[in-house]
Amino acid sequence: MKLFKNLLGSVKPHFEKGGKLEKLYPAYDAFETFLFVPDHTTHKGAHVRDAIDLKRTMFLVIVALIPCLLFGMWNVGYQYHLAIGETATLFENFIFGFWKFLPLIIVSYGVGLAVEFAFAIYRGHSVNEGYLVTGLLIPLTMPIDVPLWMLAISVIFAVVIGKEVFGGTGMNILNPALTARAFLFFAYPIYMSGDKVWVHDAMVDGHSGSTILGELAASANWQSLSFNPFDMMMGTIPGSVGETSFIAIMIGALILIATGIGSWRIILSTFVGGFLMGTLFNMWGANELMSTPAEIHLIIGSFAFGAVFMATDPVTGSQTNMGKYIYGFLIGVFAILIRVFNPAYPEGMMLAILLMNIFAPLVDHYVIQGNIKRRLKRANA
């Protein structure tokens, strides 16, 4: 600790006003405040402040993502060994997945933070913490075999177009992690959909690694699938790295809700919306996706992952409490709707969340108009 302090102290003069590297101060500041909570004291307004800050908030989201991350790594190895017909221990599966997934994380953080730092230096503001979470969310929503250069491009797109052009963390309209995913999905669909991308090396292998939703869309009855609901709960199924395990996602949800970081209103109403829509389609039952039971819909695909980690992004979601219920509910409804009706790609969560990101301010607008009307009524009474 003292070592860090001395080190920072010795280089600080270069970055301060008049120093050689004055322009790089935001970069220095980011490292310093990462290591040490700064010694800034209050100078106006309240003299004491709550212990929470944005770093703590983002750090807790990372903690909530850890179960998905660990399970996802293990599942990469498990699915691979299943595909090639070998048996492997739990540890071997994990290590295999770890080495496959690590490059994705490194590229995501490396490229994303580089862009963030560049913008901070260019604009002269401090580096915001938002990318700490985005940087982990992006690889977790990717298929394991996504080429690293593609990942890098999507990260740049997400950070620049998704976030920085609007003014950086807190100002963006669309969820940056989903912006990255949507970009890849539309730019390189072959690498993001179909039945060959979800399991490592499945392209070479000839093993059918299609996801449950893929099979359902191809008119397989849900009961004839090779996976039972228990597999779907546990997550021993092919899919994007972080999305498969309902259990791991729920552990994350518990952490988010217990710490108050994620909005339980959004999570709950998303599941309610999805369940109601699924039930409605069950009654209709025109195709296999429609007749898949509503509760199964909630545990397959990226529904749960999106509801817990993507929809709850406070910046792009609704900001009023009432709005959060409506926003979440509509995400659930649209996710199932798109899933059932979109012939090209049987997953609706990403598009549903992005769509509702756009509508979130409108939802808030009407909630707030209600408040304004209440006040006017009181004045006229």
Partner 1 sequence: MSKDIRLKKGLNINLQGEADKVYASIPQSQSFSIKPTDFHSLTPKLVVKEGDKVKAGSCLFYDKYDDRIRFSSPVSGVVTEIVRGAKRRIMEVRITADAEISYEGFSFDSNSSREELIDALLVSGVWPFIRQKPFDVIANPSDKPKSIVISTFDTAPLAPDNDFVLHGLDKEFQAGIEVIKKLTDGKVHLNVDGNTNPSKVFTDCLGVEINKISGPHPAGNVGVQIHHIDPINKGDVVWYLYPQDVLTIARLFSDGKYDVSRMVALTGSQVERPRYYRTISGASIANMLKENSIKAGSNRFIAGNVLTGTQISTEGCIGFYDSQITVIPEGNEQEFLGWIAPALHKFSMSKSYFSWLTPAKKYNLNTNYNGEERAYVVTGQYEKVLPMDIYPMQLIKACMIEDIDTMEQLGIYEVSAEDMALCEFVCTSKIEVQNIIREGLDLIKKECS
- Rule CB under 8 A: which residues touch partner 1? 1, 4-5, 33, 35-42, 44-57, 59-60, 126, 128-130, 167-171, 258-261, 263, 314-315, 317, 319-321, 324, 364, 368, 371-372, 374-375, 378-379
- DSSP, res 45: S
The Cα–Cα gap between 213 and 77 comes to 21
Which CB atom, from 100 or from 324, has the smaller least distance to partner 1?
Answer: 324
> Could you tell me the end-to-end alpha-carbon distance of the chain, in angstroms, rounded to an integer?
64
Least distance in Å: CB of 379 to partner 1?
4
**Angle CA 247–107–212, to nearest 5:** 35
DSSP 155-173: HHHIIIIIIGGGTSTTT-S
Which CB atom, from 79 or from 134, has the smaller least distance to partner 1?
Answer: 134
Comparing CA positions, the residue from 348, 346, 347, 344 lying closest to residue 330 is: 348
Which CB atom, from 20 or from 43, has the smaller least distance to partner 1?
Answer: 43
Burial per residue of 338-361, b for 16 or more beta-carbon CB atoms within 10 angstroms, e otherwise: bbbeeeebbbbbbbbbbbbbebbe
Least distance in Å: CB of 157 to partner 1?
21
Which CB atom, from 178 or from 199, has the smaller least distance to partner 1?
Answer: 178
DSSP 288-317: HHHHS-HHHHHHSTTHHHIIIIITT-TTTS
The tokens of 171 are what? 């100002």
Which CB atom, from 53 or from 92, has the smaller least distance to partner 1?
Answer: 53
What is the enclosing helix (H) or strand (E) of 98?
A: helix 90-123
Least distance in Å: CB of 313 to partner 1?
9
Least distance in Å: CB of 311 to partner 1?
13
Which CB atom, from 17 or from 47, has the smaller least distance to partner 1?
Answer: 47
Q: Helix or strand or coil: residue 89?
A: coil
The Cα–Cα gap between 111 and 155 comes to 7
Least distance in Å: CB of 136 to partner 1?
16
Least distance in Å: CB of 353 to partner 1?
16
Least distance in Å: CB of 128 to partner 1?
6
Which CB atom, from 20 or from 377, has the smaller least distance to partner 1?
Answer: 377
- Our measurement of the distance from residue 59's CA atom to the centroid of its chain's CA atoms, rounded to an integer in Å, reads 14
Least distance in Å: CB of 364 to partner 1?
8
The Cα–Cα gap between 353 and 330 comes to 9
Which CB atom, from 226 or from 369, has the smaller least distance to partner 1?
Answer: 369
Which CB atom, from 282 or from 319, has the smaller least distance to partner 1?
Answer: 319
Q: Is residue 348 within 8 Å of residue 336, measured between CB atoms?
A: yes
Q: Is residue 269 within 8 Å of residue 324, measured between CB atoms?
A: yes
Burial per residue of 12-32, b for 16 or more beta-carbon CB atoms within 10 angstroms, e otherwise: eeebeeeeeeeeebbbbbbeb
Least distance in Å: CB of 306 to partner 1?
19
Q: What are phi and psi of 330, to 5 degrees?
A: -70, -35
